[in-house]
Amino acid sequence: MGLRASVGRRISAWLNQEHDAPERPLCDFDRIAYELRPADVILIEGRSRVSNVIRVITQSSWTHSVLYVGRVHDIVSQELRERVTKFYNGDPNEQLVIEAILGQGTIVSPLSKYTTDHLRLCRARGLTPPDAQEVIGHAVATLGAGYDMRQLLDLARFMFPYTLMPRRWRSSLFEHNAGSATSTVCSTMIAKAFMQVKFPLLPIAFKNDDGTITLHHRNPKLFTPRDFDYSPYFDIIKFPIWDPHKMSRYQNMPWDKEGLICNEHGDCFLPDDHPASSKQNDNDDQLQDKEQMK
């Protein structure tokens, strides 16, 4: 068991290794931190190897989700406050999130951990303050739970066409008791928390014979970070680093004047239809003609 745990830790560390953060994230972190409310969901464009895996599986840039719980004193229940402090011994005035991390399980983290990442704020529309505290309470109750790698693999298999898979490969994801009850992944933990207050995320709607509609909760194990962005019951609040609403004209934003187009930081080029690029191409053609004439 010791060897197995050691190997598991090494694999988790390798998967969690992140590449460098962008020089300037696309969002205004300070504004997001100021506007956050308890029980807001924050989507994160991860930079780790496991994030790349999740990006491929879900076909979305959003690879991680966390639940904002506020500062310790923002939590109404004393019992919940005490439980949070058992898992977090930092500054009590720090803004905190609850998240499920591969190799670490469900933990409390400071919001400042994501200062340099691209974030999106998702807010449950019309969620009452008491229900927000209940959502937080369910998330706090999961602290210490392990990360369910099996569920991640199941989700990957679920994304393949079901009828094309051999029966023996078909996931047990759809069984109500599949997997460990003490393990979870980030989106499932948050989805279950909102289900406790009957808040809709992506409910399944059935039309009854009498014309009425009955809603059913979607299997929380099927949720991915992008679903909070996609759900019509969550408001998406964006705070870009350069807000065109605060400027007289969006054309006056600090655009590059050379006309460079970039794939990513350090990988930029002039497009073919750019005058400078066309002139350079003409010069290259003239040089090539001279070489051929020699």
What does the alpha-carbon distance between residue 68 and residue 41 come to, in Å, rounded to a whole number? 6
Beta bridge pairs of residue 269: 261
Residue 167 pLDDT exceeds 50: no
H or E element that contains 129: helix 129-141
Per-residue model confidence as pLDDT tens digits over 201-243: 998 888 888 888 888 888 888 888 999 999 999 999 988 876 6
Band the pLDDT of 111: cuts 50, 70, 90: very high
Q: Give the CA radius of gyration of the chain.
A: 24
The domains located in the chain, with CATH, are: 2-245 (3.90.1720.10), 256-293 (no CATH)
Band the pLDDT of 87: cuts 50, 70, 90: very high
Residue among 119, 128, 130 at smallest CA distance from 97: 119
Band the pLDDT of 19: cuts 50, 70, 90: low
Decide: pTM greater than 0.85.
Answer: no
114 class by beta-carbon count within 10 Å (0-12 exposed, 13-18 middle, 19+ buried)? buried
The values of phi and psi at residue 20, to 5°, are: -60, 145
Band the pLDDT of 177: cuts 50, 70, 90: very low
201 class by beta-carbon count within 10 Å (0-12 exposed, 13-18 middle, 19+ buried)? buried
**What pLDDT, on a 0 to 100 scale, did the predictor assign at position 22?**
63
Of 4-18, 58-72, 94-108, give the lowest mean pLDDT range: 4-18
Place of tokens 């930079």: 47
Q: Which residues contact 115 (CB under 8 A, 6 or more apart)?
A: 29
Counting residues of the chain whose pLDDT is more than 70, the rounded percentage is 64
Band the pLDDT of 7: cuts 50, 70, 90: very low
Q: What is the average per-residue pLDDT within 151-176? A: 49
Counting residues of the chain whose pLDDT is more than 90, the rounded percentage is 38
